[in-house]
Amino acid sequence: MHELSIVASVVETVTESLAALPDAPKGARVLEVRLRIGTLTNVVLESLEFCWGIATEGTALEGSKLVVKTVPVVMHCPRCDADVELEGVLSFRCPKCDEPCSDLRQGRELEIESFEIDDEAAMEIVGIEKAGDAE
């Protein structure tokens, strides 16, 4: 339900980060954005994809690819004294010993891992602008 606001937040953060890059040429374009989304976040990946085109329109991210890495739920099992990965989210028990686990270690991630920019295209755009200035 809140995928559009999540996507809008990603676009805003990447746009700001791009502008803050000390050596990013003006007009640099984003080719790809990589997210890490935990399976315990209720985020529907298809909805993210659907919103991506709308939210990136008219920004440096327009036409970019959204790559989502899903992060499984990891709990700490007190009996095994180890971090264990759950197969689903319908039972919070250790898959090895069946002990109920309440200590969540991973699975709620909503992160922007990285983004990729096209430096060359950016250089060209800067070049055109310079040519225009000279006229």
Partner 1 sequence: MTTRIVELRQGILKKNDELARGLRERYAIGGVLVLNLVSSPGTGKTAILERTLKDLWVRGWRVAALVGDLETDNDARRLAASGAPVRQINTHGICHLDAEMIDRHLAGWEEVELGGLDYLFIENVGNLVCPSSYDLGEGIRVVLLSVTEGEDKPLKYPALFNSADAAVITKMDIAEPCGFDRELALKNINEIRPGIRIFETSAKTGAGMEEWLGYLEEERSKKKHGGN
The residues that touch partner 1, with contacts defined as CB under 8 A, are: 1-2, 5-6, 9-10, 13-14, 17-18, 21, 31, 35, 40-43, 89-93, 100-102, 104, 108, 110-121
CB of 96 to partner 1, least distance (A): 16
Q: How far is the CB of 135 from partner 1 (least distance, A)?
A: 27
Number of H helices, E strands in the chain: 3, 6
- Measured CA to CA in angstroms, residue 68 lies from 24, 45, 62, 85, 95 at distances of 24, 8, 17, 19, 26
Residue 36 host element (H or E): strand 29-38
Cβ closest to partner 1, residue 6 vs residue 84: 6
Spatial strand order of the sheet with 103-106 comes to 82-85, 74-77, 103-106
Residue bearing tokens 């060359």: 120
For the CB of residue 13, give the shortest distance to partner 1 in the complex, in Å: 6
Residue 121 or 126: the one with the smaller Cβ distance to partner 1 is 121
Q: Which is nearer to partner 1, 31 or 126 (CB)?
A: 31
